[in-house]
Structures are given as structure tokens and as C-alpha cells.
């Protein structure tokens, strides 16, 4: 393998023959899923969330506050809460579990949300951290950082037009204590889920947002000054109007061959995979247009039936929970079509080039659709049967024996031919692909919730068994699995 990224993915696969040797998580050493607030200065967001009480009492979405032409504190508070706010509490007073609007593998929440405030009414310019459990925005640094952030985002137009820029960071230690080296995969998926919520919230506020995974890593890190194992993953400029056609550089710096082949201490492989995907400072050459065909040339595609509206996505964001069990009732073809349509990532929000992310669907019980493995073309909203047959038992096995996989009406699998993706994007290929898969998963979650269906992301699976079930080469990277069905 010429790529460390390919090596990382191969060595973090789950295998039925070795998974019992991974060891157990040390629950007594579980880190907190949030940072402690330092100092006494913070902004309480709760005065700006009063409308949630009316919505919880089944009043209509017309009670949602009106948006204003200029970004203000109240709008930023609402977007922050919908992105990753606390919407319920479980456990006990002594050992609480805070549920959030965004799902996270194992409830670990390794992704933090920061705001670089540039021009927001009611807020000082500077870097602010969203503290979900404290319902607070906490100042990190105050000052005008427009020049620094524009340089870090490689001078692209949305960075210069933004009124605020959301920055998502990943904290390795919050995931690795439980998931080991595979934690990086889940951190990227979590970032995709959170960004999906944030982008949907911005759209609801009638503001424009453009997610960017191409940026100078050291520049953003220097600006945020995060903890030692905390790294920037995604930047999202926000304003009333932004340039939406963005050609961002995703090509990472070519690593020294010795960096790729060097031995890595246990626990450090995911950090190395992230480090080798960095983009340097300066003005890189404009990226060359790159896209793959969405369709498989040997398959015959048929259009899906017209979709309907999924329902109230606002309430879905408030009530969202990952489904814990499925019944055996089938979903209808119209529900299936609507879920796929609403899960599709808008073109201007997709991080990876068109066609890089494959969407396979293992249909177990959809009325009017033959059971088997299907491929979806999001460009024309058409599907093609790849492997006919019954695959419930295969779904159960490939999902580590989790009944969610076997009982689901259908299972969505996102994959990519990793070697080819690395050839096109370099070592950074993993970031946009995994975050796109998570973003799709969050849109699917919201649509399913709004339609009274259940959805759950599955980040633990036997990688090679998934490829075998799909009927594709084992070299393809399995990035994410989402299970959908009637709640049990």
C-alpha cells in the first residue's frame, strides 16, 4: 500500500476472527463528553430558546422566531442548539446522561463546536465555544480575526463574506478509550451528523452556509488553540448571502514516504492518519474539476416513484432519538423514496467530489420492491438491482450480530474505492468522504423521525462481510451503515 490512509483503514477493520481480542473498554476511565467552563464569563443561550416550550406543547412551527437580515446573538444561539444542544436527560442526578440533538457513537460526543464571530449583533468579535451542557457560549479569545481566518480558509470567497464561521473539532481521547484506533472513523461520522443539523438549522433561519473541509490545518489550530489531541475537522462560513459555487482544494500535502511506512505506536495511528492529511499554508493551485459517474455501467436503473413531504423537520430535530429496535412491519415504496430523496446532500453542501461516495441499499422488506442489494443514483433519483435475494441474516452478521441490522426494513451502506479516492485527493480523502456519509445519515435521521419511522447509524461492522454482502471487491472502504424500519 502506497498510502498510510489505506493502511489505517485496513488495520482498523473489524474481523469475526479477531474482534474478541480487542479488549474491553475501561468504563472507570471514561472521559467527560464536554469540556469544563473556565472563568466566569459566558453567554446563556436559554433566554433565546423560549419557543421550544411552545413547540413541545404541540403548538405549530409558526411560533418559531422570525429571522432578521443580519446575524445576531439569538440566531446564533438557536443554530447552536439545533446543531448539538441538550434536548433530554437520562440516567440519574449522580450519573446523568445528556441526550443531544445530534447522535454520537456510544454517546461520547467527541466533536466540539466553536464559532469565529466576525460580525454578529450582540456579540464581541472573537472565538467562542458552544458548551452544550451549560447552554452557553463561552469566549475563548476576543478580537478581530477576519484576516487570520481568511488565510486559514485559503482565501476563498465565503470566508471573506462570512458573518460567523462554525468550526468543528474532534477530540481523539473521547473516542479512543472505547473504540481504540477506529475512533477516528466515528469522530468524522459524528462531525458529519453535527454539520447536517447545523446546515439544516441555518437553512431554517434563512441564512446561507457553506461547509469547507479544505483549509490550512495549522492556521485553524493556531487560531483555536485547542487541547493537544483536539484537531479541526470542518469549517462552515455563515452569512445572509454567500458565494455558493466554491472550488475548494482538498488535495493534501504529499507526505514523505518514510512517514507512510514508519511504524506507529498503538493509539497513535489515527493521529498519524489525520496529520498526514494536512493542507499547508499559502495559496494552493485551484483544484482541477473531478467527478466520477454516479451510475454503475453494468446495472439497469429505474426511477423511484414521486416522493412526498417527510413531515415537520423542526419537531424531528427536537424529538430525534436513534431507534433501539425495529419491528417486522415493512415500509412502503413511497416512504422509501421520500427518505432517500430527503437524505440526499444538497450539491453545494457536499464535501467530496460527485460520485466518490457510493450508496448501496440492502432491501429486506419494502412493499413493491424486490429484496436484494440495490445501488442508488442520487443525481436522477433512480435505483438498480445489483444482487437479488434475501439478506436479513447477512445484515445481522455484518452488523456484529446487532438485531438492528437484521430486523431493519432496509440498510443503507456508504462505500468508496479507497485507493482511487486517495489517488485523486491524497491522504485527505477520508475526511470529506466520512463526513459526507455522516451528513447523509443525519438527514436520514431527521426525515425518518418526521415520518414516524426509526433510523439508527451503525459504525461497528465486519468490513469484509459487508463488502461480500454487497458483492463488491474487498478493497472498497465501508464508511457507514444506516438501518431504517418501523420502530419496535
Whether residue 360 is predicted with pLDDT greater than 80 in this model: the reply is yes
Give the C-alpha separation, 352 to 479, whole Å: 13
What pLDDT sits at residue 197? 96
Whether residue 62 is predicted with pLDDT greater than 60 in this model: the reply is no
**Among candidate residues 485, 461, 471, the one with its CA nearest the CA of residue 189:** 461
pLDDT-based confidence at 200, cuts 50/70/90?
Answer: very high
- Match 472573537 to its residue by C-alpha cell: 126
Backbone angles phi, psi at 60, to 5 degrees: -80, 165
Whether residue 265 is predicted with pLDDT greater than 80 in this model: the reply is no
Whether residue 288 is predicted with pLDDT greater than 90 in this model: the reply is no
Give the C-alpha separation, 184 to 173, whole Å: 10
Whether residue 423 is predicted with pLDDT greater than 80 in this model: the reply is yes
Query: 262 vs 81, which has greater pLDDT?
Result: 81
What pLDDT sits at residue 213? 93
Rounded-to-10 torsion of CA 418, 422, 423, 425: 130
Quick: pLDDT tens for 145-196.
Answer: 999 999 999 888 999 999 999 999 999 999 998 999 999 999 999 999 999 9
Taking the CB of residue 294, how many other CB atoms lie within 10 A of it? 18
pLDDT-based confidence at 444, cuts 50/70/90?
Answer: very high
Q: What is the DSSP letter of 457?
A: E
On whether the CB atoms of residues 308 and 341 are closer than 8 A, the answer is no
CB neighbour class for 147 (10 Å; exposed up to 12, middle 13-18, buried from 19): exposed
| Overall average pLDDT of the 420-449 stretch | 94
Give the C-alpha separation, 188 to 321, whole Å: 20
pTM of the prediction?
A: 0.95
Give the C-alpha separation, 225 to 114, whole Å: 11
Give the C-alpha separation, 269 to 261, whole Å: 12
What pLDDT sits at residue 27? 74
Please list, in sequence order, all residues whose beta carbon lies within 8 angstroms of the beta carbon of residue 437, skipping any fewer than 6 positions away.
189, 192, 357, 414, 479, 480
- The residues facing 438 across adjacent strands are none
pLDDT-based confidence at 2, cuts 50/70/90?
Answer: confident
- The residues facing 374 across adjacent strands are 361, 385
Locate all alpha helices (DSSP H) within 344-413, ordered by sequence: 392-398, 403-407
Whether residue 337 is predicted with pLDDT greater than 80 in this model: the reply is yes
Provide the residue ranges of all domains of the chain, joining segments of one domain with +.
4-249+252-275, 301-485
Look at the domain 301-485 and name its fold.
NADH Oxidase (3.40.109)
Whether residue 45 is predicted with pLDDT greater than 60 in this model: the reply is yes
Q: Quick one: which H or E segment has residue 463?
A: helix 463-470
Percentage of residues in the chain having pLDDT higher than 90? 69
- HEC sequence for 260-301: HHCCCCCCCHHHHHHHCCCCCCCCCCCCCCCCCCCCCCCCCE
On whether the CB atoms of residues 114 and 127 are closer than 8 A, the answer is yes
Q: How far is CA 108 from the centre of its chain?
A: 14
| Overall average pLDDT of the 24-52 stretch | 84
| Overall average pLDDT of the 16-42 stretch | 80
What pLDDT sits at residue 320? 86
Domains 4-249+252-275 and 301-485 share a fold: yes
* Three-state SS at 388: strand
Cell numbers of 440, please?
447523509
Q: Please check whether the domain covering 4-249+252-275 is classified as CATH 2.30.30.90.
A: no
pLDDT-based confidence at 246, cuts 50/70/90?
Answer: low
Helix 183-204 × helix 172-179 angle, to 10°: 130
pLDDT-based confidence at 67, cuts 50/70/90?
Answer: confident
Q: List Cα–Cα distances, 204 to 67, 79, 88, 192, 312, in angstroms.
A: 9, 9, 22, 18, 12
What pLDDT sits at residue 296? 96
What pLDDT sits at residue 238? 97
Amino acid at each position: 500500500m502506497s498510502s498510510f490512509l489505506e493502511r489505517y483503514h485496513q488495520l482498523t477493520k473489524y474481523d469475526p476472527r479477531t474482534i474478541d481480542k480487542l479488549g474491553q473498554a475501561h468504563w472507570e476511565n471514561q472521559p467527560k463528553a464536554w469540556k469544563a467552563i473556565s472563568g466566569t464569563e459566558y453567554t446563556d443561550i436559554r433566554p433565546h430558546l423560549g419557543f421550544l416550550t411552545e413547540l413541545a406543547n404541540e403548538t405549530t412551527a409558526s411560533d418559531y422566531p422570525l429571522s432578521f437580515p443580519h446575524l445576531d446573538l439569538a440566531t446564533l444561539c438557536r443554530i447552536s442548539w439545533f446543531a448539538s444542544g441538550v434536548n433530554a436527560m437520562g440516567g440519574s442526578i449522580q450519573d446523568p446522561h445528556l441526550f443531544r440533538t445530534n447522535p454520537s457513537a456510544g454517546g461520547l460526543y467527541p466533536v466540539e463546536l466553536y464559532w469565529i464571530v466576525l460580525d454578529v449583533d450582540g456579540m464581541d468579535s472573537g472565538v467562542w465555544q458552544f458548551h452544550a451542557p451549560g447552554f452557553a457560549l463561552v469566549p475563548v479569545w476576543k478580537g478581530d480575526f477576519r484576516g487570520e481566518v481568511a488565510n486559514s480558509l485559503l482565501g476563498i470567497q465565503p470566508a471573506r463574506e462570512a458573518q460567523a464561521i462554525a468550526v468543528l473539532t474532534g477530540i481523539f481521547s473521547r473516542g479512543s478509550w472505547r473504540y481504540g484506533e477506529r475512533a477516528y472513523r466515528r469522530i468524522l461520522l459524528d462531525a458529519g451528523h453535527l454539520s447536517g443539523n447545523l446546515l439544516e438549522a441555518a437553512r431554517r433561519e434563512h441564512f446561507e452556509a457553506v461547509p469547507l473541509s479544505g483549509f490550512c490545518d495549522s492556521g485553524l489550530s493556531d487560531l483555536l488553540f485547542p487541547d493537544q489531541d483536539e484537531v479541526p475537522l470542518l469549517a462552515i462560513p455563515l452569512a445572509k448571502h454567500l458565494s455558493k459555487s466554491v472550488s475548494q482544494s482538498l488535495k493534501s500535502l504529499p507526505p514523505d514516504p518514510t512517514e507512510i511506512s514508519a511504524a506507529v505506536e498503538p493509539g497513535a495511528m489515527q493521529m498519524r492518519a489525520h496529520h498526514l492529511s494536512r493542507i499547508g499554508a499559502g495559496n494552493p493551485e485551484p483544484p482541477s474539476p473531478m467527478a466520477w459517474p454516479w451510475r454503475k455501467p453494468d446495472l439497469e436503473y429505474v426511477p423511484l416513484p414521486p416522493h412526498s413531504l417527510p413531515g415537520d423537520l423542526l419537531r424531528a430535530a427536537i424529538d430525534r432519538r436513534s431507534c433501539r429496535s425495529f419491528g417486522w412491519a415493512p415500509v412502503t415504496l413511497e416512504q422509501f423514496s421520500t427518505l432517500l430523496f430527503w437524505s440526499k446532500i444538497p450539491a453545494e453542501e457536499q464535501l467530496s467530489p460527485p460520485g466518490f461516495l457510493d450508496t448501496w441499499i440492502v432491501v429486506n422488506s419494502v412493499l413493491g420492491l424486490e429484496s436484494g442489494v440495490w445501488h442508488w443514483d442520487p443525481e436522477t433519483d433512480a435505483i438498480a438491482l445489483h444482487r437479488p435475494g434475501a439478506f436479513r441474516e447477512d445484515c445481522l452478521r455484518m452488523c456484529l450480530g446487532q438485531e438492528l441490522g437484521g430486523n431493519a426494513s432496509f440498510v443503507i451502506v456508504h462505500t468508496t474505492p479507497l485507493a482511487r479516492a486517495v489517488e485523486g485527493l491524497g491522504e485527505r480523502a477520508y475526511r470529506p468522504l466520512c463526513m459526507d456519509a455522516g451528513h447523509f445519515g443525519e438527514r436520514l435521521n431527521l426525515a425518518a423521525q418526521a415520518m414516524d419511522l426509526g433510523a439508527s447509524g451503525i459504525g461497528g461492522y465486519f468490513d469484509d462481510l459487508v463488502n461480500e454482502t454487497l458483492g463488491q471487491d474487498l478493497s472498497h472502504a465501508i464508511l457507514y451503515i444506516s438501518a431504517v424500519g418501523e420502530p419496535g
